[in-house]
Amino acid sequence: MIKAIRGTRDLLPPDTDLWNRVEAKVRDVFARYNFHEIRTPVFEDTSLFSRSVGEDTDIVTKEMFTWDDKGRAASEKSQSLTLRPENTAGVVRAYIEHGLDKRGTLQKLYYIGPQFRRERPQKGRYRQFYQIGAEIIGPPSAGSESPARDAEVLEMLATLLDELGLRGWTLQLNSVGCAADRARYNQALRDALKPVVATMCADCQRRSETNPLRVLDCKVPEDQPIIEKLPRISQYLDEPCRENFAAVRAMLAAVGVPYTINERMVRGLDYYTRTTFEFTHGDLGAQSAVLGGGRYDGLSESLDGPKAPGIGFAIGEDRLILALQAEGVTADAPLDAYIAPLGAGMNSHALRLARELRRAGVRADLGDESFRLKKSFEAAEKADARYIVIVGENEVAGGQFSVKELATGKQEPIARESLAEYLRRSQ
Ligand code: AMP
């Protein structure tokens, strides 16, 4: 038997009802903040990710699904392609490619879609997973560098999670400074690591040379006491970065979004500058990050684009769903009515009635004239319908249908004209 590939999974009803509810809420909230959707390809030129995410990150060194794509015609060159491990790089590539900077305004873009990383699969960690992300990017003259944008994004996330009904989230906040700060901090880390790195894992040994910041991403338990004692990034921020971070924090306080400072949170991608953040959830165990993001001033230039500071985030939709389910949040998508044709020749009449009701906004499912009444009732119960509507010859002729509420057993005749209103959920 052929099975889904390790680390991938099928999403089935009723879980997909919750996925749809989440995505509908996301679109609703994002629209209220004036974000608009962007859809970029699922695969891109490999160098897009190595140049943006960073040569020495876990993603680029171990996790990308990359292949050499042979040209089909002699004129077509072979090319190294990669299934996107994240979507910010693709959005920034599209921003540059389509000259969105020429619009002169802030681009507030969002995406929903699958991402791919060859990670060790476990609960909350998959090789195909889904991200919901958003970016604010634009020329500095449009205000893209303002800490007000950081605060707006963080406040929007708090609102989104609140409106989804998620309670147990914590916002962890940090600033990784600008490129010059990080160069000084990397040097300080290199110096501090020198006497101890020989006892650390192979990744840390390599990174202490190439990109010491990435040592802070290390998850090896034996290395943690050493990492805890390393210098803190806050001591290396220059005055503008310090002021910027203070401004973000002041705005969050002003709107009442709670946060905690976590100086180890430097995020696993190289392109971040200044504000970085994660929202974690207590019920997710080892994979506690529901979402992560931050500012990426300089990313566009590193991809040969114009100066285009930006800030964005990616929600791990799989983990968001797990967190909601852990809190008992379910999708509310019940069936209003099960329509039961009773007797030979009643299928067309039932279909006509179902058509009227469905067009009037009723969620209805439809049986078959070959079913006996008992089987129709069983089918209605299995479908979790609130009402069953009997469509027999007499009902059609009289323009009145027998409607039974399954939970209470209450039954009454309802005129055809009033039926939709009677059955609709809002009722
Ligand atoms: P990142 O792009 O690494 O900043 O990740 C952003 C969010 O995506 C994380 O906080 C997770 O919620 C989610 N995520 C990242 N990798 C995976 C994965 N392999 N499986 C499921 N969710 C993931």
User: Per-residue pLDDT tens for 84-121?
Assistant: 999 999 999 999 999 999 999 999 999 999 999 999 99
330 alpha carbon to ligand 1 midpoint, in Å?
A: 22
pLDDT at 425: 66
Longest dimension (CA), the chain: 92
pLDDT at 426: 47
Type of residue found at 252: L
pLDDT at 95: 98
Among 6, 19, 115, say which to mutate for ligand 1: greatest number of ligand atoms within 8 Å of CB.
Answer: 115
Tokens of 307: 């100066």
pLDDT at 102: 96
Q: In the sheet where 273-281 sits, what is the strand order?
A: 36-37, 107-116, 128-137, 310-316, 289-295, 273-281, 169-175, 260-261
The Cα–Cα gap between 143 and 257 comes to: 22
The Cα–Cα gap between 30 and 23 comes to: 10
Type of residue found at 176: V
Tokens of 14: 């009723």
Helix axes 239-255, 147-164, angle to 10 degrees: 40
The Cα–Cα gap between 269 and 379 comes to: 51
> Does the beta carbon of 422 lie inside 6 Å of ligand 1?
no
SS3 133: strand
pLDDT at 340: 98
Residue 192 · residue 231 · CB < 8 Å: yes
12 alpha carbon to ligand 1 midpoint, in Å?
A: 21
Residue 106 · residue 69 · CB < 8 Å: no
The Cα–Cα gap between 86 and 83 comes to: 9
Q: What is the DSSP letter of 60?
A: I
Chain segment 172-227, per-residue pLDDT in tens = 999 999 989 989 999 999 999 999 999 999 999 998 988 898 899 888 999 999 99
> Does the beta carbon of 119 lie inside 6 Å of ligand 1?
yes
Tokens of 110: 């969002």
pTM score of the predicted model = 0.92
Residue 330 · residue 393 · CB < 8 Å: no
**372-381 burial, b if ≥16 CB within 10 A, otherwise e?**
eeeebbebbe
Query: What backbone torsions phi and psi does residue 210 show, to the nearest 5 degrees?
Result: -80, -45
The minimum-distance atom of ligand 1 relative to the CA of 125 is: 20
> Does the beta carbon of 64 lie inside 6 Å of ligand 1?
no
**Which residue has the CA at smallest separation from atom 4 of ligand 1?**
292
**316-331 burial, b if ≥16 CB within 10 A, otherwise e?**
bbbbbbbbbeeeebeb
Query: Which secondary-structure segment (H or E) carries 190?
Result: helix 179-193
Q: In the sheet where 43-45 sits, what is the strand order?
A: 43-45, 79-83, 66-69
Give me the half-sphere count of Cα atoms (radius 13 Å) on the Cβ side of residue 141: 6
> Does the beta carbon of 9 lie inside 6 Å of ligand 1?
no
For the chain, which residues score pLDDT lower than 50? Answer: 426-427
pLDDT at 270: 80
Q: Which residues 6+ apart lie within 8 Å of 279 measured at CB? A: 157, 161, 169, 170, 171, 172, 289, 290, 291, 292
The Cα–Cα gap between 154 and 149 comes to: 9
